[in-house]
Amino acid sequence: MGWDTRRVLPPDNHVHSEWSYDTFGRTSMVAACQRAADLGLPAIAFTEHLDFADYGEGDAIAGTGITPGWWDAMRPLAVDGYLASIEECRHRFRSLRILTGVEAGEPHLFAGSVRAVLAVGRFDRVLGSLHALAWEGRMVNSSRLLRLLPPAEAMRRYLAEVVKVIEGSDVFEVLAHLDYPRRQWPGTAGAFAESDFEEEYRAVLRALARSGRVLEINTFSPVWPVTLLRWWRQEGGTAVSFGSDAHVPGRVADKFPEAVAVAEAAGFSRGREPTDFWRC
Ligand SMILES: [Zn+2]
Ligand SMILES: [Zn+2]
């Protein structure tokens, strides 16, 4: 019963389970694996949140006077329980490749804390992401910044900070949701157009390509126009990863056919192994 390789979707390299503090009982690793198996996905990666409400040794934020912790729901990742759960699912879903992972938030500010977690186990997929920015002495969710500042200014600040994330951290391999605040783009600001921020997007893509890393196509965010992936290639990018950022089982691999069509139109294609990133 071989795969029809032309029709198999890419791996979902960005999924959250009950081990992420912000899923609030709405999902489970077992249910997400079942969904992935039903869809015929070759692989699924559980990239649980690694956000820090406090700083530890080796964290750059310690010297800044900025108060960490932008959401009181934040909890540390229970690594042992998480890894045991992965093992259990690998036994239960033998035809599915189940990858470990984390989504390290603001890794340029929490290098020491991130490394301490990564040292405990083997993590196949390490995503780097920016959710929060410093504002008046404390970290705030970037979507809040869209209401505190003119939205275009908030977006520019965000993209400029993503460059610092890339240049200030080498712990991650894949840059997650590079334009995260656009999910909350206010209707009053008019339609969001990537072309309004071309220079800022290109600066991020250039820094990412220069460091040899992978760009995530995040389908929790609106699917990008092909133009953005062309910018990625023009700036030297060679690889993309697909991530649903699902926090409920029903969203695993959500909108992947659309995302695949955009990636293919930009010249990216699947690798030899089903778990490979797509390359051009
Ligand atoms: Zn995220
Ligand atoms: Zn996520």
What is the predicted pLDDT for the residue at 3?
Answer: 44
Report the alpha-carbon distance of residue 49 to residue 102 in Å, rounded.
6
Task: Say yes or no to pLDDT of 1 above 90.
Answer: no
Ligand nearest to the CA of 181: 1
Ligand nearest to the CA of 12: 2
> pLDDT confidence of 208, banded at 50, 70, 90?
very high
Ligand nearest to the CA of 15: 2
CA of 85 to the centre of ligand 2 (A): 19
Give the number of other Cβ atoms within 10 Å of residue 188's Cβ. 6
Average pLDDT, the chain: 95
> pLDDT confidence of 114, banded at 50, 70, 90?
very high
Q: Classify residue 156 as exposed, middle or buried by CB count within 10 Å of its CB (0-12, 13-18, 19+).
A: middle
Report the alpha-carbon distance of residue 226 to residue 267 in Å, rounded.
10
Task: Say yes or no to pLDDT of 2 above 90.
Answer: no
CA of 6 to the centre of ligand 1 (A): 30
Mean pLDDT for 270-275 is 90
Report the alpha-carbon distance of residue 10 to residue 270 in Å, rounded.
8
Ligand nearest to the CA of 246: 2
pLDDT digits (tens, 9 = 90+) for 135-193: 999 999 998 999 999 999 999 999 999 999 999 999 999 999 999 999 999 999 999 99
Task: Say yes or no to pLDDT of 267 above 90.
Answer: yes
What is the predicted pLDDT for the residue at 8?
Answer: 79
Report the alpha-carbon distance of residue 68 to residue 133 in Å, rounded.
10
Ligand nearest to the CA of 143: 1
pLDDT digits (tens, 9 = 90+) for 47-58: 999 999 999 999
CA of 245 to the centre of ligand 2 (A): 5
pTM: 0.96
Task: Say yes or no to pLDDT of 253 above 60.
Answer: yes
Report the alpha-carbon distance of residue 179 to residue 221 in Å, rounded.
8
CB 166, CB 213: distance < 8 Å: yes
Ligand nearest to the CA of 71: 1
What is the predicted pLDDT for the residue at 55?
Answer: 93
Report the alpha-carbon distance of residue 71 to residue 208 in Å, rounded.
28
Report the alpha-carbon distance of residue 57 to residue 125 in Å, rounded.
24
Give the number of other Cβ atoms within 10 Å of residue 112's Cβ. 16
CA of 2 to the centre of ligand 1 (A): 34
Contacts for 182 with CB less than 8 Å, ≥ 6 apart: 155, 192, 221, 222
CA of 101 to the centre of ligand 2 (A): 11
CA of 1 to the centre of ligand 1 (A): 36
CA of 3 to the centre of ligand 2 (A): 28
Fill in the DSSP letter of residue 264: H
What is the predicted pLDDT for the residue at 7?
Answer: 61
CA of 127 to the centre of ligand 1 (A): 9
pLDDT digits (tens, 9 = 90+) for 77-99: 999 999 999 999 999 999 999 99
> pLDDT confidence of 6, banded at 50, 70, 90?
very low
Task: Say yes or no to pLDDT of 11 above 70.
Answer: yes
CA of 1 to the centre of ligand 2 (A): 33
What is the predicted pLDDT for the residue at 274?
Answer: 86
CA of 218 to the centre of ligand 2 (A): 9
